[in-house]
Amino acid sequence: MATPSDGPSDREHLLSRFGRSIRAGTVLFRDGEPADFAYLLQVGRVRLFKQVGAMERSLSVARPGDLFGESALIPGATRRSTAVALDDSTAIAVDHATFENVLAMHPGVGSSVLQQLLSRLRDAEDQIEILMMRDHQSKVVVALTKLVQREMAQSGGNGAEVSLQVSPLELAAKVGLDVEIVKRVVSQLREGGYVRIHDERVEVTDIETMKELYSLLSLKDQLRGSPERERGRLA
């Protein structure tokens, strides 16, 4: 019996059967709809956001290789976000039953999906820490520091400088702030010599200095919260 392969031919085979071409601006699904398909993005970018009243809150931007819409892998689930293509894109779209077959026949794809889901759990833990910070600069610095640490762990690098591929929209989604606020904070960090900006890449020029700033801002945030905690104990 032939053993299923885990190489690039897996993706080519899945694209030939389940691939979809998506025009820029297309809404793939909306918050609250029944979740029918999960998507493994191959080309382009897809923005996921949540509508809160009249406001849109960005959640993430999917890039090639990313899984999104994974709620469809749970029978009877509904969408918890809206997805719109930012570019002309290509994605592999599978429903729950098809996904089980994909896992059986293409274990390499299944392993990639599992790693992404584990990464989402780590992201959720980081998100809790970021949202607990009180001021905008602290939120952005914590998010950048976490991204630097993740990049260094994945690449095995130990240099003084790290380049991150993250757009203002993606960074705004991570810290729960408006894009314009994030741009202002990043500009301040650039003026302070902590980062350099090239298109959608943020270069952290001195990792140790960024970590020191992170520690100082965390301490400032704790001190700022101390009177509130004290009042809570006295109440």
Domain boundaries, the chain: 8-120, 135-224
pLDDT in tens, 37-82: 999 999 999 999 888 777 777 888 899 988 899 888 888 889 989 9
Terminal C-alpha separation, the chain: 71
Fold of 8-120: Jelly Rolls (2.60.120)
Beta strand extents in 125-205 (DSSP E only): 162-165, 195-198, 201-204
pLDDT per residue, tens digit, the chain (235 aa), is 333 444 557 778 888 889 999 999 999 999 999 999 999 999 999 999 888 777 777 888 899 988 899 888 888 889 989 999 999 999 999 888 888 787 777 777 777 777 777 777 677 767 777 777 778 888 888 888 888 877 777 766 666 677 787 888 888 888 888 888 988 988 888 888 888 887 767 778 777 787 788 777 777 766 665 444 444 443 4
Taking the C-alpha atoms of residue 226 and residue 143, their distance in angstroms, rounded to an integer, is: 23
Residue 42 sits at φ, ψ, to 5 deg, of -110, -40
**pLDDT of amino acid 160:** 61
Taking Cα atoms as reference points, which of 24, 38, 37 lies closest to residue 85? Answer: 24
**pLDDT of amino acid 231:** 45
Q: 93 near 38, Cβ under 8 Å? A: yes
**pLDDT of amino acid 147:** 83
- Identify the helix (H) or strand (E) that includes residue 102: helix 96-105
Q: 164 near 146, Cβ under 8 Å? A: no
**pLDDT of amino acid 224:** 64
Taking the C-alpha atoms of residue 119 and residue 185, their distance in angstroms, rounded to an integer, is: 26
Taking the C-alpha atoms of residue 37 and residue 104, their distance in angstroms, rounded to an integer, is: 18
Same fold, 8-120 and 135-224: no
- Listed in sequence order, the residues at least 6 apart from 120 whose beta carbon sits closer than 8 Å to its beta carbon are none
Taking the C-alpha atoms of residue 181 and residue 183, their distance in angstroms, rounded to an integer, is: 5
Taking the C-alpha atoms of residue 84 and residue 127, their distance in angstroms, rounded to an integer, is: 23
Q: 68 near 28, Cβ under 8 Å? A: no
Which one is the CATH code of 135-224: 3.40.50.300, 2.60.40.3880, 1.10.10.10, 3.40.50.2300?
Answer: 1.10.10.10
Q: What's the token pair of residue 120?
A: 């989402």
